[in-house]
Structure 1
Amino acid sequence: MSEAELAMHGDGGPAKRPVLLFMSDYDDPAEWAPALAEAWPELEVRVWPEIGEPAEVDFALVWKPAPGSLRQFPNLRLIVNLGAGIDAIAADETLPADVPIARLADSGQSEMMTGFVVLSVLRHHRELRFFEAAQRERRWAYRHPREHRDCRVGVMGLGYLGLAAARALAGLGFEVAGWSRGRKAADGIECFAGQEELPAFLARTDILVAMLPATAETRGLLGREAFAALPEGAKFVNVGRGSTVDEQALIEALESGRLAEATLDVFETEPLPAEHPLWAMEQVLITPHLASVAVPRTAALQVVANCRRVLDGETPEYTVDRGRGY
């Protein structure tokens, strides 16, 4: 243990073990506990709701905690979010302002997201839905493949995950552009920024990949105006947040043919209600928010490193701005 760890709540007696609380209804603590123990053998992991003495909890590793559930830990030093999106935590006004929140940005999570995005883009580009329909009809239907360079892909959101996906698509030969709130730069990727450049970005995009965070600025950003700016017959992939899309506008764009197809992994309401019209649209592929998840084997190393940084008085990596929402 480091000097900072040995001095935790130092009173001259035996050193207190650092305590991390795991709180998630979506992630398996049986996978996380061994990974965390391997990364930091001295760490004690407690699983919600078995919290023990609240004052002993130093760190919280969470996904969508109930509002107010973290306020009971008076010595909480760090909250680590089990994913990239922090909208659930950012909305909790009961959290102490001085407790930093860090998001995950591990290699396993990035690889998983990149793979899903590439799979979705290739499925749309190679028109697999057409061939799936032909197979059901036992019909030999040939369509000549187009080169990757003839397809213009646009990635909205050039954060850690978005930039990795954009680079992978560019590496496959697609003509890739990216859009973000602030100016970014990446080799081989044309970068657009801000509201004033959004129409031009959309107008040059045949397959739009949304990887935006949930913030006040992005809520409903992809609506009627945005879909109308895309070329007729464009295709749409959303792996960011459901709140960024006006779902009624999306349905209308799909019904009119403005959008030819969509792959949707995230929604305004999750689980997607059984009566939602998107379920019945043959041109839509729905997946249950699984494009990317945290991988304990790799992510535990980042979690532990950030906990150690906090104990040593350093700023954790990938700290989020609560006001901006990412």
Structure 2
Amino acid sequence: MTLLYTSDPARGQIWRDIFAKEAADIGFVAPPEAYDPAAIRYLAAWSPPADLIASLPNLEVLFSIGAGVDQFDMASLPPHIQVVRMIEPGIVAGMVEYATMAVLALHRDLIPYRAAQAEQRWAPIKLVPAEQRRVGVMGLGQLGKAVLGALRPFGFALSGWSRSPHAVEGVTCHSGREGLGTFLAGCDILLCLLPLTPDTRGILSRDLLSRLPEGAMLINAARGGHLVAEDLLALLDQGHLSAAMLDVTDPEPLPAAHPFWRHPRILLTPHVASMTRADSAARALIANIHRHQAGEPMDGGVARGRGY
């Protein structure tokens, strides 16, 4: 019963130490050390090559070392291998911090104030009370619910949208294609936390974003593949959208000539909204392996058909 780890060596050393102290029943190996491929039942990786998967005859579970699994080629994975995304306290805490910062930055007009400072203009903007600002979150999984919970004390009018119905205290929830239009019409600030799947790739397009109220603002902290860049730029330049805060882009990093770098109404951060903490991630992985050994459902199990 051995885990093969194939990512960052520094994090791997932290994981190795924790596994040795807290889960001596689970073997831990990482390249370049030699290992018996037949002994590997678990693989923790970000984007493992297909030949590595094929070389592990007894592999049962592929663990993503991050919150997403869109980097995996699901079609090439043998059907018996379970796919599990990382769910650990560090990811949730980081996203809650970032999303709260981003919502407040847009709500309190940080982008136009940044432009005014560069131009040495003293230009106060009339304050909109939080209870008059409508914030909507796309994606009501663990991250979306945690973010909404953190935003509630500020008094924002909160709504959420997801593929399937959810109930979240203090949040007006919408679901499915039939609920999307009503949800979008009630968002002054739209925050995308959706998983990236074939159905959600390119979802932040002109068609969707144009259904937001005039002057609305966008935050994308999910994946760059959700956003159609030229559509966002057009809607910003036309004035339908007033600002955007983007933590993710496609590609990453952006090429030097990309217009996002210099657009006056876009604030960029370099995919730092949420980062896996090595120590808590190792313990979350150990707990999931023990669940698997006990025949229990693992946290973060992925339904192949949905992609999350």
Range into which the TM-score falls when normalised by the shorter chain: over 0.9
**Deviation of the 1:25 alpha carbon:** 5.0
**Deviation of the 1:132 alpha carbon:** 2.2
Percentage of pairs with the same residue: 38
2:3 aligns with 20
Is residue 167 from structure 1 mapped to residue 140 from structure 2 by the alignment? no
1:54 aligns with 37
Deviations 1:273-297 (A, max 9, x none): 2222212212111222221121122
Counterpart-to-counterpart distance in 2, 1:251 and 1:53: 52
Q: Equivalent residue of 1:93, what SS?
A: helix
Normalized against structure 2, the TM-score is what? 0.93
2:117 aligns with 135
Summarize the alignment of residues 96-245 of structure 1 with structure 2, pairs less than 5 Å apart.
96-245=78-227
Q: Structure 2: which amino acid aligns with 1:58?
A: R
RMSD between superposed Cα atoms in Å? 1.9
* Number of matched pairs: 308
Is residue 312 from structure 1 mapped to residue 268 from structure 2 by the alignment? no
Q: Equivalent residue of 1:178, what SS?
A: strand
**Deviation of the 1:74 alpha carbon:** 1.0
Deviations 1:29-79 (A, max 9, x none): 233333333431343322235452211212111112234432211111221
Counterpart-to-counterpart distance in 1, 2:256 and 2:32: 31
Q: Structure 2: which amino acid aligns with 1:53?
A: D
**Deviation of the 1:128 alpha carbon:** 1.4
Q: Is the 8 A contact 2:68 2:195 kept in 1?
A: yes
Counterpart-to-counterpart distance in 2, 1:181 and 1:78: 26
Normalized against structure 1, the TM-score is what? 0.88
Counterpart-to-counterpart distance in 2, 1:63 and 1:45: 17
Counterpart-to-counterpart distance in 2, 1:147 and 1:315: 44
1:292 aligns with 274
Tell which deviates more after alignment, 173-182 or 282-291: 282-291
Q: Equivalent residue of 1:28, what SS?
A: helix
Is residue 86 from structure 1 mapped to residue 69 from structure 2 by the alignment? yes
Q: Is the 8 A contact 1:116 1:291 kept in 2?
A: yes
Deviations 1:160-213 (A, max 9, x none): 111111121122211110000000001100001011111111111000000111
Tell which deviates more after alignment, 95-104 or 30-39: 30-39
Deviations 1:107-134 (A, max 9, x none): 2210100110000010000111222233
Q: Equivalent residue of 1:185, what SS?
A: coil
Counterpart-to-counterpart distance in 1, 2:98 and 2:10: 19
Deviations 1:195-250 (A, max 9, x none): 11111111110000001111121122221111111111111000112222222211
**Deviation of the 1:84 alpha carbon:** 2.0
Q: Equivalent residue of 2:274, what SS?
A: coil
Is residue 34 from structure 1 mapped to residue 17 from structure 2 by the alignment? yes
**Deviation of the 1:308 alpha carbon:** 1.4
Q: Is the 8 A contact 1:148 1:174 kept in 2?
A: yes
TM-aligned CA distance change 1:27 to 1:208, over 3 Å: farther
